Amino acid sequence: MYNLKDMTLEEMEEFFVNIGESRYRAKQIYKWIYDKKITDFDEMTDISKNLRSKLKEIAYISQLKIEARRVSEVDDTVKYLFLLEDNNIIEGVAIRYRFGNTACVSTQVGCNMRCSFCASAIGGKVRDLKASEMVDQVMAIDSDYGKISNIVLMGSGEPFDNYDEVMKFIKIVNNPYGLGIGGRHITISTCGIVPKIYQFADEKLQVNLSISLHAPNDELRTQLMPINKAYPLEELMKACKYYVEKTRRRITFEYSLIEGVNDKKEHAYQLVDLLKGMLCHVNLIPINYVKEIGFKKANNEKVMMFKKIIEDAGISCTVRRELGSDIEAACGQLRRKYLKER
């Protein structure tokens, strides 16, 4: 059975041609799926009964089940657990900003990158998500939380470790006949898979790129993020500069501040040396506490010191406001708790 949500518009056009139907049927079906949110072929009233019958025999339209839903009492953030068709569990987060609602989407069940501060890494990767499973997260959050205008691929998993399905997902949600979410309202976060950064730069998309950096030198970054053994900072920075030159787009560097680990004054100055001259923005993140890991967030005084050093060097910098701390909203936290209880 074909899941129609796994198809870009071009793929769906070919699908209809291959079953002896007109190419324009793809746009009709796209409208039913993404505009009208219909998953039952019998409700698609502008399609002949014969075609509806044919589709029911060979295709279906997926939906995700919301297995659990936790609402923050502090900031209106909502954490979701979604049940997949194979009984795996993934997470999604809805975040309300003044510029619109954001859906934070997972790209894999678990993660293989083994970052030492992330709950998603505990237990490793189970499998990649299909494009449809990413689309379904956005649509489920949109239906439950309210209109989604921004997407960040910062949930569980490494997006560039599932590159082809992520690119397909972007084509579906970006298409005007799909969810119609503009590229500049979509952000992909990677821990630094260098070859894929070059490939992504060559895609010529308007999608934003975010790099999970979290350390300003190789020794410390390798301790926190094993990916640095394969792609050390010199190679990562070369790829980032290529991306900026190729796209003329700013990169955001995510830096989680961990008490006593990467929050010293010397680290801030090293970060300035690493990034100075690049078209970039630094997003400082007070890390969420994960019981199994034990890292604690840096205190506010250290955060402000870090921010000042970066800004004084002429580099744009913000501190991400803490969201969902009372509902275990950090990547992998709620899923981990649910799986232990199950």
Q: For the full predicted model, state whether its pTM sits above 0.95.
A: no
Q: What is the structure's pLDDT at 123?
A: 79
Task: For residues 193 and 158, give the distance between their C-alpha atoms in angstroms, rounded to a whole number.
Answer: 9
Q: What is the structure's pLDDT at 84?
A: 97
Task: For residues 192 and 251, give the distance between their C-alpha atoms in angstroms, rounded to a whole number.
Answer: 12
Please list the active-site residues.
91, 331
Domains, the chain, in order of start with CATH, read 2-60 (1.10.150.530), 65-341 (3.20.20.70)
Q: Where is the binding site for S-adenosyl-L-methionine, in residues?
A: 157-158, 189, 212-214, 288
The residues pairing with 60 across neighbouring beta strands, listed in sequence order, are: 3
- Tokens (6 digits) for 36: 């009208």
Task: For residues 104 and 323, give the distance between their C-alpha atoms in angstroms, rounded to a whole number.
Answer: 12
Q: What is the structure's pLDDT at 292?
A: 56
Task: For residues 80 and 74, give the distance between their C-alpha atoms in angstroms, rounded to a whole number.
Answer: 16
pLDDT < 50: residue spans in the chain: none
Task: For residues 302 and 308, give the distance between their C-alpha atoms in angstroms, rounded to a whole number.
Answer: 10
Share the mean pLDDT of the chain. Answer: 92
Q: Where is the binding site for [4Fe-4S] cluster, in residues?
A: 111, 115, 118
**Alpha-carbon dihedral sign for residues 4, 108, 209, 193:** negative
Q: What is the structure's pLDDT at 325?
A: 58
Q: What is the structure's pLDDT at 330?
A: 55
- The answer to whether 263 and 302 have CB atoms below 8 angstroms apart is yes
Give me the half-sphere count of Cα atoms (radius 13 Å) on the Cβ side of residue 39: 10
- The answer to whether 151 and 187 have CB atoms below 8 angstroms apart is yes
Q: What is the structure's pLDDT at 341?
A: 60
- The answer to whether 126 and 109 have CB atoms below 8 angstroms apart is yes
Q: What is the structure's pLDDT at 66?
A: 96
